[in-house]
Every structure is written in C-alpha cells, then in structure tokens.
Structure 1
Amino acid sequence: MFRAVASDGTPIAYQESGAGPPLLLLAGQANNHHWWDLVRTDFDSHFRTVTVDYRGTGSSGKPETDYSTELFAEDTMCVLDALGIETAHVYGTSMGGRVAQWVAARHPHRVRALILGCTSPGGTHAVERSREVRESLAQPDPERSRRALLELMYTDDWLSRNPATYNTLGDPDMPAHAKLAHLRASNGHDAWDALPSINAPTLVLHGTDDLLSPVDNAPLLAERIPDARVQLLPGARHAYFEEERSVAGAAAIGFFTER
C-alpha cells in the first residue's frame, strides 16, 4: 500500500497493478479500491491500473471536514503526481464518474481518454432517482436497506447466481462522519457548466435498467460533452461493469486501446 499527500496534508492511499498505458479507475460513493476487484484483472492485462482510496475510505486519511467531488478529483491528481504519471486514461463509475468529470474538465492535459459509467452531471439538470428508490435506501432496518441497494446494483438472476460478498455496497470500516461527507459530496455535485470544456475522447456507459442513477442521464452527459458517445447495456443495473463484465469490459478496453 502506498500513499500520496493531498494539498491539505491528508494521506491518500493508492494501489497499482498491471502494465501498459496508465488507467485511473475511480470507484463509487463511500467505496474504496475494492469496488474494482472483480474486474480489475481484465484491465491489468492491457493497462497499468491505478486505484485510489478516497479520503474517508480504506487506508486514506479521514479528516472531519467537508468533502466534494472537486476535492476528490484534486486528490487523484496528487496520486498521479506521486506516481510520475503525466497522462492517463480515466474510467469513473457512479460517484467516480462525477469525480472523473472534474478531472477531465480541470486537468484536460492529463486525460488521454475518458469513460463515464452509471453517473450523472449533477445539479438541477440531472435526472434524479425516484422517491421510491430514495425511501427504499433510507429504511431504518439495515438489512432491508442493504437488500434494496443490492437489487438496485444487480438483477435478481445475478444475485441468485452470485450469493457472495459484494464489493460495491460501501466501505464497511468508514466512520460515520466520512459516510455523511461522501453523501454530501455526491449530492452536491454539479459539473454542468464545466462539461463542455472536456476535450478528451469520451464514452458514456450505462445500464438501461439503472434506477439508482437513471439512464436518462447518459444522453445528457453525451450531449453536453463535445463529441462524446453513448453505449447502453440492455437490462443492466447500476453495477453493469460486474454483471455485464464481458461486454462492458470489452467496450472499455477497446475504447481506450484505440486512443
């Protein structure tokens, strides 16, 4: 395990594996690098993959301050600097896609190509999840809330065939203040005005049955980012990158290797 140091002195843990052009993988809200465990080896065969434990997660520092997607983006830049990486492909999913928007908008010279997965632009232009979805996640019974999240991430068929530990349900060791800070950071995201400044080749990936981050956000992003294109994954939910691993992984690898 290695650590970079953010501009405010917070240690930011990172991990690297594989060989080839650098690829920065950014996880979802309140998750650490284990979010990518199931599919990381697919990318390691083609790229030098770099993951980050966001502040508040994993082995990174957990300061009791305000967090934001812009701050997470700057933390990732500190990691690339620590590794001596000038340019990298960037693939962000869920909140990681929100962070990736800022990385590409504010540091265009550092991003070779960009994939935004199951994410949204945030702010008033975003298509928000329904009240029913929000209420299902806010249930006081933790087991029922966990089940609701599982069903938003994966189809029933996937869950029946994979009754195992899931790496996409949040870092179980996060302190309460960090969980709240992550929630506020993701909810406060609004990159709408910055999206047209992204000049990296961009692919937007999204499952058609994603209710956690509704699929209508995909064309919004693609229309706002110059020359971006969309690929939808029929029947897939929020964790499309795992459930549709063969299709989504091939699409991502193909997109990056062409650039």
Structure 2
Amino acid sequence: METKQFTLVGWDPPGYGKSRPPNREIFTEEFCLQKDANLAGLLMSKLGFSKYSILGWSNGGLTGAYLAAAFPNEVQKLIMCNSPFRMSERSVKVAQMLTHLENWPPAQQKSLVRTYEKKYLKKMLTDWEQLNIIGAKDQACFEVFKVELKKIKAPTLYIHGGKDILILEEHPIGFQGYIPNFRLHQLPDAPHDHLEFLDEFVKISQEFLQL
C-alpha cells in the first residue's frame, strides 16, 4: 500500500494476537464480530480519525461491514475479501475441519501455536465451531445482520478468489443483495488466503480507494 498516500492502522481484536489479556469471548450477548466493530469504531475515534476506510479479510470483512453500518458518517469505503455471508451446514463442516490443527498448512499451524499455544488455540477453534452450529440452525442473528447491511452507505468492494474452497461465489452474491453501493471483483485463480495473491490484492484495493 502506498504509505505516502495512506495512513494504515492495524489492530488485533480482544483475545487475538497481542490484544491479550483478555482471552477471546465468542459467546457474548452481542455478536462477537459486531462487538469488535463497535470497539474498532471507538478506537479510531480515540486515535483522532473522523473519516476512514475499512479493509478486512475473511471474518475481518464481516467486522468491517458491522463497522460501516454502525459508523456510516465515518466509514468512507469498505473492502471485504473472501468474507462469509452466512453460517450454514457447509460453514459448520469447514469449522469442524479447522478444529483439527493437523488440517492446517504446517507453516500456518506453527505460527498459530507459537502465538496462542495449543490449549487456547483449540478452545477458540472449538468455540467457533459451536457458534457455526448454532448460527446454521438459528437464523435470528443472520436476520439482524441483513438489517445492518442495509445501513451501509459506503461504496463497498468485495474481492473474491475463484479458487477459494471455503467461501464460494454465493457469499459475495449474498452481500450484493443487501449492500446498496456494492461491486464485486473476481480473481479466478486466487485462493482463500489473501497473502497468496497479495500484490494483486493491494493493487485492486488501492485503486478502489483512489476513486
């Protein structure tokens, strides 16, 4: 990203990365990603940013969507990459697969264990699996999410990898039906992890932000 043109602010939501303590709480009265979004909005205000754009990958894109809905006057543009639209039987199977660390690529597994230690990492993954099971059966949270999406005023770009085996094309199409100013950019050969097509990801994102 062109650092002379953009100021980049990165964060770890509570319970992730270096934002510990506290440990991650998945089962909260307010949906955990929506809670993250509200905290991120308060953080940006504390840092003195009254106008900004949001870029999020996977569940970070969902947090970005909640943030854009909650702070429509502050969020100028929203970029999501390979973000899930809803929980389903497929997302449950994916979450179940990811609870087994041996299913992760060795380098990623090593990095995660080094950051979190196995016991805490296993708990986070198991909690996320249980949340997907609940979310796939109970659509109440999804109905709230759809209402929130309609509040988004910011022009929104969704970058989707055609070889993403976790997030299929139905997910960006789902967002398209609820976010008013939405555009979809397909990358036919890109997988789920944006770091594997980082140069193209940055180029597309930067061009959108410069419009």
TM tier, shorter chain?
0.7 to 0.9
Tell whether 2:18 aligns with 1:73: no
Tell whether 2:179 aligns with 1:179: no
The counterpart of 2:164, out of the listed 210, 218, 222, is 210
After superposition, the CA RMSD in angstroms is 3.0
Give the Cα separation in 1 of the matches to 2:60 and 2:121.
Answer: 20
Q: Percent identity?
A: 22
Instruction: State the match for 1:157 in structure 2.
Output: none
- The structure whose residues are more often helix, as a share, is 2
Instruction: State the match for 2:65 in structure 1.
Output: 101
Query: Which runs of 5 or more structure 2 residues have no equivalent in the other structure?
Result: 136-140
Residues 20-66 of structure 1 show CA distances to partners (whole Å, capped at 9, x for unaligned) of: xxxxxxxxxxxxxxxxxxxxxx2534310001111002222324644
Instruction: State the match for 1:33 in structure 2.
Output: none
The counterpart of 2:12, out of the listed 53, 57, 71, is 53
Secondary structure at the aligned position of 1:48 is classed as coil
Give the Cα separation in 1 of the matches to 2:198 and 2:150.
Answer: 30
User: TM-score under structure 1 normalisation?
Assistant: 0.65
Aligned amino acid, residue 116 of structure 1: M
Aligned amino acid, residue 197 of structure 2: E
The counterpart of 1:233, out of the listed 172, 181, 187, is 187
Cα gap change, 1:111/1:77 in structure 2, threshold over 3 Å: closer, same or farther?
same
Secondary structure at the aligned position of 1:96 is classed as helix
Give the Cα separation in 2 of the matches to 1:74 and 1:178.
Answer: 24
Give the Cα separation in 1 of the matches to 2:10 and 2:63.
Answer: 13
The counterpart of 2:198, out of the listed 245, 249, 254, is 245
Cα gap change, 1:217/1:43 in structure 2, threshold over 3 Å: closer, same or farther?
farther
Instruction: State the match for 1:62 in structure 2.
Output: 22
Secondary structure at the aligned position of 1:89 is classed as strand
- The structure whose residues are more often strand, as a share, is 1
Cα gap change, 1:43/1:76 in structure 2, threshold over 3 Å: closer, same or farther?
farther
Query: Which runs of 5 or more structure 1 residues have no equivalent in the other structure?
Result: 1-41, 151-164
Tell whether 2:98 aligns with 1:137: yes
Give the Cα separation in 1 of the matches to 2:130 and 2:154.
Answer: 24
Give the Cα separation in 1 of the matches to 2:11 and 2:127.
Answer: 15
Give 1:216 shift: 1.9
Give 1:227 shift: 2.3
Instruction: State the match for 1:30 in structure 2.
Output: none
User: TM-score under structure 2 normalisation?
Assistant: 0.78
Secondary structure at the aligned position of 1:113 is classed as strand
